[in-house]
Amino acid sequence: MSHHLKFFIDGAWVDPVTPNILDVIDPATEEAFTQISIGSAADVDRAIAAARAAFGAFSTTSRDERLALLRRILALYNERYEDIARAVSREMGAPITFARRAQAAAGQAHLEATIAALETFAFEEQRGTTRIFREPIGVCALITPWNWPLNQIVCKVAPAIAAGCTVVLKPSEIAPVSGIVFAEIMEAAGTPKGVFNLVNGTGPDVGQVMAGHPEVDMVSFTGSTRAGIIVARTAAETVKRVAQELGGKSANIILPDADFERAVTKGVRGCFGNSGQSCDAPTRMLVPVDRHEEALRIAGAVAAAVKVGDPREEETTHGPVVSATQFEKIQRLIETGIREGATLVVGGPGRPEGLERGYYVRPTVFGHVANGMTIAREEIFGPVLSILSYEDEEDAIRIANDTVYGLAAYVQSRDIGHARQVAARMRAGSVYLNYPEWDTTAPFGGYKQSGNGREYADWGIHDFLEIKGVVGWGEA
């Protein structure tokens, strides 16, 4: 039976208090493929009450009990792996091969990393005669985005459960089906009633209500910086903890000694991955001024070879962007780049040739981008790369850090010692040297307007804990 029109509250699938239906659009066809119910404050109240009622018992469960639950969730996740991949592909347009290899795999990897972290996590320590306890913070409101749905759901739900918290999840209403599949997994795993709850809805009608609710102890939010500011202001009224992973405009510094062909090629592919819809994508490529034309030649060839098409076809590498709103925003910014004088190397406004329907964007590379141009400052969130020149290393570092964001940075050099020195000067939460493999134990989060708090493995568990010091405890 489909649960698309229901919410998961207090261990059961329930109807919304007030019926309100929203179409879910397939971005490849621009047509609705299912409907979900949209929640209200009354649904939020019901879910938070269930989470509050469950917290007392769940917060006192043992490490072994929570590990057993997480292992059951992982086993069932693996059983539903193909369902998850197909849901993500349909709701956000990810090519099915990418949905399997990256989108569904991300949730799996984070479950594994959280389980490994929980096995040895130190919930207590002794400092002199003081005993330090790390205790679950309480009821947590989790608000997740559409661009990496399972990555962000698992990055929040798994560490919250590992910490002993109870949660209410609001997935993005744009890409909600994978979240419903995840809720079915949580139910099948025997998650105690009220520990995990799901309410679908919009930001204003559900997300903000959760953020401001007096019975919520913490909000963990991933999304745009604009929405994050609203969440933080709303949460401030009740002085609750807010962890945020927000926007980015990440610089990719290609140093003069780098393998230039490889560095530019992988930089373009990194920018365009997930149809450019990743907050940590390397969207600003910084190259030596005397090699700018070489970079444009390489980048243009890589972008021109990208196959954009139907996400259901196995050979498709890039699908549509998620919605009409995103498509129109990207088109405006591409047109702004042209109007402000950047060199359009490849791509541009409109859909790729042969694709008359669907939110498909032409993979676009701009060269000779000045640091003050709009496309160098604003997060585009589409397959659009800006290539900027730098005079010397100091200039490159200055340009890289000259942004309100600080989620990620990238450095390419044949000399790893040199790359490390540049990384030390990056004002970003993550710095990637020479395109390394993804590491689920590395902390993930941002400086400046890219947010606060950290996710992944033990870093995520820490965010869901309060610290208590018992002074005068005595010797251990």
- DSSP three-state, residue 277: coil
User: What's the CA gap between 253 and 411, in Å, rounded?
Assistant: 5
User: What's the CA gap between 387 and 190, in Å, rounded?
Assistant: 51
User: What's the CA gap between 70 and 455, in Å, rounded?
Assistant: 17
Contact 326, 319 (CB under 8 A): no
Residue 245 appears among annotated catalytic residues? yes
Task: Describe the crossing of helices 81-92 and 63-79 by its angle, rounded to 10 degrees.
Answer: 70
User: What's the CA gap between 219 and 232, in Å, rounded?
Assistant: 9
Which stretches does DSSP call E strand in 338-440?
Answer: 343-346, 364-367, 384-390, 408-412, 430-433
Question: Which one from 140, 155, 271, 279 is the annotated catalytic residue?
Answer: 279
Q: Determine how β-strand 31-37 pairs with β-strand 7-9.
A: unpaired
Residue 271 appears among annotated catalytic residues? no
Contact 195, 164 (CB under 8 A): no
- DSSP three-state, residue 398: helix
Q: Which helix (H) or strand (E) holds 419?
A: helix 416-423
Question: Which one from 91, 245, 379, 455 is the annotated catalytic residue?
Answer: 245
- DSSP three-state, residue 37: strand
Non-local (6+) Cβ contacts of 431 within 8 A are: 408, 409, 410, 411, 423
Q: Cα 5–8–10 angle (5° rounding)?
A: 145
Q: Which residues are part of the catalytic machinery?
A: 245, 279
